[in-house]
Chain A
Amino acid sequence: MSHLHIPDGVLPLWLWGLGWLVAIVAVVAAGVIAERADIRRRVPLLAVVSALMLVAMSSEIIPIAYHVNLTVIGGVLLGPVLSIIAAFIVEVVLALLGHGGVTVLGLNTVVIAAEMLLGWALFRGLIAIFGRARVRPVAFVATVLALAATTTMLVGIVALGGVGASARESGALDPSTLRFENPFAEGVFTLGLFAGGHEHEGEDHGGEDTGHEGEHAAEGEHEEAGHEAEHEHEAEHEALASDSHEEDAVRRFALVVYTLGPIGWVLEGLLTAWVLGYVSRVRPGLMWGGRWARSGGRPPGDEGTVN
């Protein structure tokens, strides 16, 4: 649940546009640093780790609407610079396969990259404190914390953007005006498609109608001045209702992700702990390579780092 599974067109333009901007700047910067640092020979590793994350993300655990991400494993193996590029690659391929929207690709890259970076930093930090003998518990804690943090980030993004259709976005989503009307005969046949359609006949309320049928039916009896006052009152009422709906929706969204999320975090934590434990036992050079390499000899079976 760590990246956004929000369809295109739900979040406001400024938010997903900002996501794209941040993601592009981060990916270009990471690309430039990677080329300067001459870690090009790690491109194949970057590709297989990204592919592994993609294979994992494509297998959904249906009852809890969760899929494993393997982001912390990716972060630990790739390091911070390549993690940003991996996050972008994974999101591009997922968006093209219809898994997640194209507009939210930037925000998703930011969230996944944050998860990988946070996972990497927590894992390294905790290993520095508790030692390499405790790879499994450290990996578990790092994964759960990273996933909890990025889920909170996700809720924050949704709260910032506003969820679902609000007064801001849903001009065309007015069930009361969705009807079967004949454009050539001024209502020779008119069928209410959704509840509340008939009361609007002959009225011109622009985009302000939101389905308050009783109020609209009564409007015909008022004078012009009364109309204006009522419209003002209605607009205030709508603004307040919209704000309250937004808060409720964000609260509901947070409740759902914080209820389903922890099951997924624990599953992913266990998987990450065992995988990293297995890798550190069988091929420690992969995890402790580079500046993390011990000065002593390598255990049997360790062919060293791919660096």
Chain B
Amino acid sequence: MDVSAIDRSATSGTGPLRAASPRVKLAALGLVLAATLVSWNILVLAAIFLSLLAAALWGRVKLRLALGLAAYPAVFALVFAFASAPDLMTATVIVVKAVTSALAAVLVVLTTPYPQVFAPIQRVMPGIVGDALLMTYRAIFILAEKFSNLLRAIRLRAGLRGKSAVRSIRVTAAAVGGLLLYSVDLAQRDYDIMRIRGYEGALRITPFRSRSRKADVTLVIGSVVLLGASTAWRVESSALNPYSWIVVLPALAALGLTLLLRKGE
């Protein structure tokens, strides 16, 4: 997981998704998740996935990064599907559901700075939870970089060799132990600095305002349409299932259109 790439994508760059209000994006995420939750129709789920791809292109999100992150849960979903699904169709639906809902969440994270994503949680949870959430996200960057440097240093000194798995675990454990102690020192120093700067138990976040009303409206309408279609095809499955292919067409059209627009830019 390249956390720095995620953060770069969220904080820099342009595009309608980054200009939209974080609240609207979170609400749209909720609606799209509900659409994925409701549907067991492979074509409807494919339409939601294609719509999300179109949204990613529209929002100028790096597709490779978004799809790479969204594909991660597919490995675990495959294990679950293999273990529990009665047939290939159900197994495919389980994996598609995992990737689709992951892509929806990833699109929000790739286009919204993390304090804005955590702000709603901070408002409803005790102060300590919100503060720790913000500090954790910051600490991930430091630890991931430090851990990668440590492993590189160990490799250069031939500490990690494929032949001896036990030795490799031992060396990795020493690296994790060192990293842990470094993190504790870092945490202590962080706390001291925060106290000096006036921290008294609450980090405050000023919510971002939307920079594009059009993007907000598009997101809300799009996600409501997806939820509506998903619900209709679930409730009236016996009548609508033969026409499921229809749902895929607008999603494909949206994807084609955004591709054309991107190429034209």
Contact = CB atoms under 8 A, between A and B. Distances in A.
A27 interface: yes
A173 B41 contact: yes
B174 A43 contact: no
A103 B33 contact: yes
A145 interface: no
Contact of B234 (A45, A50, A96, A172): A172
Given A32-B126, A96-B109, A85 B132 contact: yes
Interface residues of B, number: 96
Contacts of A96: 105, 108-109, 117
B201 A40 contact: yes
B187 to A, nearest CB: 3
B127 interface: yes
A172 B126 contact: no
Interface stretch (B165-173, B214-222, B252-260): B165-173
B102 A55 contact: no
The A interface, classified by DSSP as helix, strand, loop or mixed, is helix
A55 B238 CA distance: 46
A256 to B, nearest CB: 4
A77 B69 CA distance: 30
A271 B201 contact: no
A179 B69 contact: no
B36 interface: yes
A183 B246 contact: yes
Interface of B: 1, 6, 33, 36-44, 69-70, 72-73, 75-87, 89-91, 93-95, 97-98, 101-103, 105-106, 108-109, 117-118, 121, 125-129, 131-133, 135-140, 142-144, 147, 166, 169-170, 172-174, 176-181, 183-184, 186-188, 190-191, 194, 201, 233-234, 237-238, 241-246
27 contacts: A5-B73, A7-B101, A10-B80, A27-B126, A32-B126, A44-B194, A47-B132, A48-B143, A51-B137, A51-B183, A65-B76, A97-B109, A163-B84, A164-B81, A165-B86, A172-B234, A172-B237, A172-B241, A173-B89, A173-B93, A178-B241, A180-B242, A205-B238, A245-B86, A260-B79, A267-B169, A274-B169
